[in-house]
Amino acid sequence: MNYSIYLVPILGLVGLAVMYTKFLWVSKQDPGDARMQEIASYIANGAIAFLKAEWRVLGFFAVVVALLLGYSGTQTEKSSPVIAVSFLLGAFLSALAGYIGMKVATKANVRTTHAARTSLSRALAVSFTGGSVMGIGVASLAVIGLGTLFIIFYNLYVAQSGDVNGLPMEKTLEVLAGFSLGAESIALFARVGGGIYTKAADVGADLVGKVEAGIPEDDPRNPATIADNVGDNVGDVAGMGADLFGSYVATILATMVLGREIRIPEDVNLTGHAPILLPMVIAGLGLIFSIIATYFVRVKDGGNVQGALNAGNWGSIILTVLASYFLVVSMLPTGTLEIRGVEFDRMDVFYAIVTGLIVGALMSIITEYYTAMGRRPVMTIVRQSSTGHATNIIGGLSIGMESTVLPILTLAAGIFISYKFAGLYGVAISAAGMMATTAMQLAIDAFGPIADNAGGIAEMSELPEEVRGRTDILDAVGNTTAATGKGFAIASAALTSLALFAAFVGVSGITAIDIYKADVLSGLFIGGMIPFIFSSLAIAAVGRAAMKMVEEVRRQFREIPGILEGKAKPEYEKCVAISTQASIREMILPGAIALTVPVFFGFVFGPEVLGGLLAGVTVSGVLMGIFQNNAGGAWDNAKKSFEKGVEINGQIYYKKSEPHKASVTGDTVGDPFKDTSGPSMNILIKLMSIVSLVIAPYIAVPGASVENGTDPRIEEVRPPAGAVEDSEAPGAESTVDERTDSSSVTGSEEK
């Protein structure tokens, strides 16, 4: 085996060391006065209480699924009971990734508030460093977990068998898929549960506090304000951390599975494994270059915060491009490579990686345009707020729908171009290239909720106006970076899902999804429906929990004397309990849909119908994710535009004006869009694809595998039983390769 694989977990350990150093730096910053620390402790304790409650439920779920996977691993030679251990480790590291992000965020928020007393640049340094702890930690855990498990499974199955390219390698990757399944399962529950928590509190706080009582956002008199700030951590930080951890792992895994299918010009073990190892090495080096790029993020007082963050983002992309060139040249062999009838060379692989990085960058730019303050989409919603709540809602929905056009065209072009370069492996490796900068993307994303919390603490601590002004600058940028982070996540999910879909097709032994078949077409339509019912469940859960929150806040305003005068302390803990209980209860059904639907359709109707289902879920889910994320982000920044004052038809409008109240309504509608159902779409489509990949060996078409005991990458392949044996003919290989020859598949399906 290529010894470069041992470099992967080492790079992950380097990342953890850097993360710990940054965590210590954040911890050493001044947390401010006693009042600030008291409020920060409420937020931290609420976040920990939620995670503990969530982990109790997810711990039970993980054990049950692990037992089922362990048993199923005994039923086929392509898997092993060890898949249960792989699943549990993936689930644990996914939860740990979220916990690391939440822990540092609850430390960095109050320290950012205190730093804002000094300068904007100091506040950015603290908040971004806190975000980078999460980004680096998530990427490091993924690289360590995946790299270490691959080494263990390789030595357990491949090295001991002496068959370096056949069934043992297939078993290695199948067992490794359990790690990805565990990561994505926890990510879905964390994302949905955290999203329900944060938006129930946010909606309740806004509707009663801002609209009814007319008090500012994050006012300490509002009983829901602590729950709102807790929600920023458990949803936007812990949920996002688990989300991109799962994306990172799924992308690398899908590329490895497709890398195994590549035919190479020489039967040499080192080059034979290179396509499998390449995505892991790219991820490891991408982590290091993202760490380097974090030092590019600097801003002076009065400077452009968004520009500083963009400098770090572009720095990580450029460094990753340079590293990828040298990696591809050094690891892949010269000559012609082939996967499923598409021929390419190693430079084509490099061009596919560059394509993925460009797609990721373009998705961020497009998302920023549709959600940033001062741009045409947000200003459209601002102007429509002047004529009432209904026109604000209409404007936001319209912008959200419009915002799907450019991202979809970008994704389609990226898929087409990367496929032209290197076939399905090109699509997968382009996604791996995009995900190589995950540490930087997460750092930029997590900076937002930290800044949001910092503003809340400043308001509740009654600090001078200039402090809240500085945190508001960071928060406004944070809204945009949160939206761009979700755009990055959905783009990576689209490419990853296609790669996972291709891997599923290969393992299950089908070559095409024929929508002329009634059952396949039915599966396609049902798959297209699933993101809608999933979103419905998530949004309805936010609505029910928000109703309880509104009733509780109204009760406290009504029954606690002196609360609105600031003479009595609200019962914050009751609002925290409402969000916690509602989120834990409501996250179960959406998660169950994602996990059970592929299993049902796969075993009852077969792999081709399941393929149709996955196609429907992927297309519909990507569109729903982009629409909801961008509509919610645009509504949010339209509301924030009124804080500095906006001109509509020659008149300036500020907070508490009628157009501002309409914008608050729009923001309230957009909250579950952008923080609950929207970002859950990317996990939904990946998780269903991973579940399908895990069950593929059990539902595979009999006799349709190309291997028949040999490695598909070796040029001389024995013809499977029933195929035309004409190894002397020039076109013999294409005749027996059942991945490209539909006639042989038809015959095997008849069998």
Nearest to 85 by CA among 131, 9, 152: 152
For the chain, helix (H) and strand (E) counts, in that order, are 24, 4
Instruction: Give the DSSP H/E element, type plus range, for residue 528.
Output: helix 518-559
E-strand ranges in 334-432 read: 337-339, 342-344
**Mean pLDDT of all residues belonging to the chain:** 83
In this structure, what DSSP letter does residue 342 have? E
DSSP annotation string for 605-653: H-HHHHHHHHHHHHHHHHHHHHHHHHHHHHHHHHHHHHHH-EEETTEEE
**Model confidence at 748: pLDDT above 60:** no
pLDDT-derived band at 721, boundaries 50, 70, 90: very low
pLDDT-derived band at 699, boundaries 50, 70, 90: confident
Token output for 338: 């082939």
Nearest to 131 by CA among 108, 163, 111: 108
**Model confidence at 749: pLDDT above 50:** no
SS3 344: strand
| CB proximity list for 333: less than 8 A, separation 6 or greater | 264, 265, 266, 268, 271, 274, 346
Quick one: average pLDDT of 133-142?
92
Q: What is the pTM of this model?
A: 0.83
Task: Assess contact for 12 and 291: CB atoms under 8 A.
Answer: no
**Model confidence at 445: pLDDT above 90:** no
Selected residue with higher pLDDT from 452 and 750 = 452
Q: Where are the alpha helices (DSSP H) in 207-268?
A: 225-231, 240-259
pLDDT-derived band at 334, boundaries 50, 70, 90: confident
Asked which of 85-99, 433-447, 470-484, 667-681 is least confident by mean pLDDT, the reply is 470-484
Token output for 46: 């609420």
pLDDT value at position 743?
35
Nearest to 253 by CA among 486, 15, 429, 434: 429
- Cα separation, 330 vs 274, whole angstroms: 10
pLDDT value at position 26?
93
Q: Where are the alpha helices (DSSP H) in 73-166?
A: 83-116, 120-153, 160-161
**Model confidence at 741: pLDDT above 70:** no
- The CA radius of gyration of the chain, in Å to the nearest whole number, is 26
Q: How far is CA 275 from the centre of its chain?
A: 24
What is the SS3 string spanning 656-695? Answer: CCHHHHHHHHHHHHHHHHHHHHHHHHHHHHHHHHHHHHHH
On the 0-12 / 13-18 / 19+ scale of CB atoms within 10 A, 522 is middle
pLDDT value at position 616?
94
- Cα separation, 198 vs 552, whole angstroms: 16
Task: Assess contact for 434 and 355: CB atoms under 8 A.
Answer: no
Token output for 724: 């035309």
Nearest to 293 by CA among 274, 315, 321, 325: 315
pLDDT value at position 145?
92
Token output for 540: 């309805």
pLDDT-derived band at 525, boundaries 50, 70, 90: very high
How many of the other CB atoms lie within 10 Å of CB of 292? 14
